[in-house]
Amino acid sequence: METIIIILFVLGYLAITLEHNLKIDKLIPALSMMALLWAVIALNHMSVFEVNTELRELEPTHLDEILLHHLGKTAEILVFLIGAMTIVEIIDYFDGFATIKGYIKTRNKRTLLWIFSILGFVLSAIIDNLTATIVLITILQKVLSDRELRLWFAGMIIIAANAGGAWSPIGDVTTTMLWIGNKVTTAQLVEHVFVPSIFCMALPTFIASRLPIFKGSIEGDFSSEAPASKYGSRMLYLGLGSIVFVPIFKTITHLPPYVGMMLSLALVATFAEIYSRSKFSLSEVHIDDESADTQGHHSPVHHSLSRIELPSILFFLGILMAVAALESLGMLFHFAEGLENMMPMLGTESMGEKVSDLVVLFLGVGSAVIDNVPLVAASMGMFSAGIDDPVWHFIAYSAGTGGSMLIIGSAAGVVAMGMEKIDFFWYLKKISWLAFAGFMGGGIAFIMIRNFILNA
């Protein structure tokens, strides 16, 4: 039966990887794979286990209990993401991101490259790398008319956004998973990953700034369009501040992050409704004399909730629960043991967990080929290191930044590919080597900082 489980997982994973070739949304194989894996486990009465992280051993449990346990952990991540996505959409409803465009005044290509890279690095740490990429490429399309130059900028934005998302617990789905899964804390994640992430962004940006494509000045008019709403700037700062407040709320209350995110969403939604003078409620739509269509159109919250990426939410549900099935059977636990025995042990035995640096770097390179979400989900079931062990920080860095090496290796890359019609092989030839240089530079910086901290 374990062979059938592995075959189903590999086929489902392959279908997800070949999403663009098969022209089938990746949520379909993810949900199918999840349902079939758990069905095989249930129909064949297979033994399921829970990993005891303290003793580092498998403990037998009941199917209903382990399924509910994994569903609860997955739901925490999904509810958190829904809240964050809705806040970002509310900001966009008021055209808040147009405020950022107003700060861009320079015409120098090299200076503009650094501005977009730094914006991508900072924004992705707050509103996640996917949304930051969408915002910046939208601004880029209004600033640059030269398509070839715009493609180069888009490629560098992908690198910067993925680097920025790696050091923040709310900057990337994978770091959010590690944070909610009590693998890392905010302060320790920032302390260990912030500087390597800067290297990952700054090194390729510096190299690219010396290339001929970024010499000289751009042509065109920088005159700003009239903002869609006079509350745009206010909603931008309120929304970003509310998202940043979530880790603070968790630190103070020790409640799961999704609780703080729901509080932030309620706050932003309240101001959004006040500013729009709408009678819409989060719990229901009050239909007076106006039609439901008109009411929804005038409600920023209703509008924003209808625009969140529900397919992405369902994909995360499917892939996380599918990986949870393998974890429950003990497969990931045994695979991790075998992997550690095969790889040279170049890592550190910091907090009872000994994991090769090559294993973690391998996960980072692998995230460029396949989705980093299941890779991190698998690593959470493979390794039993305690909270804030350096291995989790290194995994957050590698999985978060490794996807930049291929255009299909990250959500930021995929969305940029769609917005600018970037060719896979163009990116491979022009940008991948820069992303690899940044990835390795940041990885070396992480190892040096980690060893310094451990030996201090």
Evaluate if residue 137 carries a pLDDT over 80.
yes
Query: What pTM was computed for the model?
Result: 0.74
Pick the more confident residue, 388 or 205.
205
**pLDDT value at position 456?**
62
Q: Is 165 helix (H, G, I), strand (E, B) or coil?
A: helix
pLDDT for residue 285 is more than 60: no
Residues 406-447 pLDDT 10s: 887 787 887 787 778 888 789 989 999 999 999 999 999 999
Helices (H) and strands (E) in the chain, counts: 22, 2
Q: What is the pLDDT of residues 193-249, one digit of tens each?
A: 999 999 999 999 999 999 999 988 887 655 555 556 788 888 889 988 998 898 889
Average pLDDT over residues 75-100: 85
User: If pLDDT is split at 50, 70 and 90, which confidence band does 338 have?
Assistant: low
> At residue 159, does pLDDT exceed 90?
yes
- Looking at residue 97, its amino acid is F
* CA dist., res. 148 & res. 407, Å (int): 16
Give, in degrees to the nearest 5, the angle at Cα 344 between 340 and 348: 75
Residues 6+ apart with CB under 8 A from 64: none
Q: How far apart are CA 166 and CA 416, in angstroms?
A: 18
Structure tokens at 377: 């989900």
The pLDDT value recorded for residue 94 is 87
Q: What is the mean predicted confidence (pLDDT) over 265-270? A: 93
Token pair recorded at residue 98: 């147009």
Task: Give the model confidence (pLDDT) of 346-376 as tens digits.
Answer: 444 443 445 678 888 888 888 887 667 777 8
Question: Coil, strand or helix: which one is 407?
Answer: coil
Paired residues of 349 in beta bridges: 354
Residue-level pLDDT at 25: 81
Q: Which residues contact 25 (CB under 8 A, 6 or more apart)?
A: 19, 311
Q: What does DSSP assign to residue 224?
A: P
Q: Reduce the DSSP state of residue 303 to 3 states and report it.
A: helix
Average pLDDT, the chain: 82
Domains of the chain, residue spans: 1-46, 77-310
The per-residue pLDDT for 127 is 82
Tell me what pLDDT residue 201 has: 95
Give the distance, in angstroms, between the CA of residue 112 and the centroid of all CA atoms in the same chain.
Answer: 25
Q: List the structure tokens of 235.
A: 């909603």
**Token pair of 257 as six digits:** 């992050």
Average pLDDT over residues 250-269: 90
